[in-house]
């Protein structure tokens, strides 16, 4: 049996920009993505802490500190809103005890303040 578990979480990253006229996705600082283990074009679930909006999209690597919403997702948050970005993995029963998600917590300047 496989279990869907949290693999990676970016907690309270702030939206830095939006582009309604792009095809879609969320652009995230490539260093944030790498440290959290989120791959380019990987599916992510995004929660807007300010509004409660939830949406699924894919992650694209960006520049330092960047968190940019593109396409229709640009309508689901404002610049400065806090987001929770999560990626999940299917884990086999024998791997459950060893599984540990990578969690990064951010301050208002998109700097990591806690690693779990």
CATH number at residue 67: 2.40.40.20
**How far is 34 from 44, CA to CA, in rounded Å?**
14
Q: Is residue 69 part of a domain?
A: yes
Q: Are 24 and 73 in contact (CB under 8 A)?
A: yes
pLDDT value of position 18 = 98
- pTM to 2 decimals? 0.97
pLDDT value of position 23 = 81
What lies within 8 Å, CB to CB, of 34 at 6+ separation is none
Q: Is residue 106 part of a domain?
A: no
Catalytic residue among 3, 22, 25, 63: 25
Active site residue 63: no
pLDDT value at 85 more than 90: yes
Q: Is residue 58 part of a domain?
A: yes
Average pLDDT of the residues in 27-34: 98
pLDDT value at 111 more than 90: yes
Q: Is residue 108 part of a domain?
A: no
Active site residue 25: yes
Catalytic residue among 8, 22, 30, 58: 58
**How far is 24 from 67, CA to CA, in rounded Å?**
13
User: What domain count does the chain have?
Assistant: 1
Q: Is residue 99 part of a domain?
A: no
Q: Could you tell me the residue range of the domain that residue 13 belongs to?
A: 2-93
Q: How many residues does the chain have?
A: 116
pLDDT value at 24 more than 90: no
As a dihedral over the C-alpha atoms of residue 95, residue 12, residue 71, residue 35, rounded to 10 degrees, the angle is: -50
Q: Is residue 98 part of a domain?
A: no
Q: Is residue 60 part of a domain?
A: yes
Q: Is residue 105 part of a domain?
A: no
Tokens of 86: 């999560």
């Amino acid at each position: 049996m496989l279990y869907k578990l949290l693999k990676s979480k970016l907690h309270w990253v702030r939206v830095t920009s939006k582009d309604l006229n792009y095809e879609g996705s969320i652009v995230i600082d490539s260093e944030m993505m790498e440290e959290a283990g989120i791959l380019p074009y990987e599916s992510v679930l995004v929660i807007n802490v300010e509004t409660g909006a939830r949406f699924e999209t894919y992650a694209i690597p960006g520049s330092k500190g960047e968190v940019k919403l593109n396409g229709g997702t640009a309508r689901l948050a404002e610049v400065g809103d806090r987001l929770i970005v999560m990626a999940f993995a299917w884990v086999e029963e024998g791997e459950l005890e060893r599984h540990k998600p990578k969690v990064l917590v951010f301050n208002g300047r998109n700097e990591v303040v806690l690693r779990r």
